[in-house]
Amino acid sequence: MTLLLLGLLLLAPPPGSPGSPELGGAQKPPDPVGTMELVERDTLPALPGMGNFLHLVAIENLPAGAVERNAFLAGFRGAFTDDALMTERVPRRKPGPPRPSLPIRNRFHLLEGSESRGTWRAQVTLEWLPPVPVAAVPRDTSQHVAATPPGLRVTYWALTPEAVEADARPLPIREELAFESAGTSPPEFAVHAGRQVALMLLEALHRLAGELDDDQRVRLEATARRSLAPR
């Protein structure tokens, strides 16, 4: 009997160990709160819902050629598939170049097909401008001179689902775009132009949704922009 008791004492866990009676007799699992906090710090938060769907009424005055027209639409649609939009801040008090700012999530999807209830609505009108004439042409005709791309005036508007339901009158926005000359082919230029027009429309949509500050706008790519008074 004495030897049996001595063996049980030797097998018992020391005081304060995870298996001892002082800690409940079993090892405690990790703190779930601490684990969740670690996961939240190491992962991005999930996007709420499916985002907003846009019904595009029309894009008026598309390029005349079929190849350029399809390229413009491809560039336009492609901008809506971006997960994030690059932004910049425009100085308000002192004139100066825009400053890069943090990107925002793209919360709008282009709806292909008929309009449904609860969707946003927009329309775009294009006005193509003649290219700026080249000031001086080199005498060496063997040197390649990149063609100056045409300019573009864009009139566009957007309505929230609530404004659509109320049959509200849209407030058009007019801007003029000047594209940098890169010597690209007409279809490549059309893709670029379509994408820049879509980025401007996405800016208007996110502004209506409250996703942009007053001095913040979506950054265009290799394109200068100038606001015009509405007609």
pLDDT at 43 over 50: no
Write down the domain spans for the chain.
52-132+148-228
pLDDT of 141:
42
Regarding predicted confidence, which is higher, 83 or 3? 83
Taking the whole predicted model, whether its pTM rises above 0.75 is answered as no
pLDDT of 215:
95
* pLDDT band (50, 70, 90) for residue 224: very high
Helices (H), 114-226: 161-165, 186-208
Looking at the DSSP bridge assignments, the partners of residue 218 are: 87
- pLDDT digits over 67-126, tens only? 999 999 999 999 999 999 999 999 988 888 999 999 999 999 999 878 888 999 999 999
> Percent of the chain at pLDDT above 90?
61
Element (H, E) at 39: helix 32-42
pLDDT of 94:
83
Helix (H, G, I), strand (E, B), or coil: what is residue 79?
Answer: helix
Q: What are phi and psi of 41, to 5 degrees?
A: -75, -30
pLDDT at 12 over 90: no
Q: Across all residues in the chain, what is the average pLDDT?
A: 79
pLDDT of 180:
86
- pLDDT digits over 130-150, tens only? 986 544 444 444 444 456 788
Element (H, E) at 41: helix 32-42
pLDDT of 76:
98
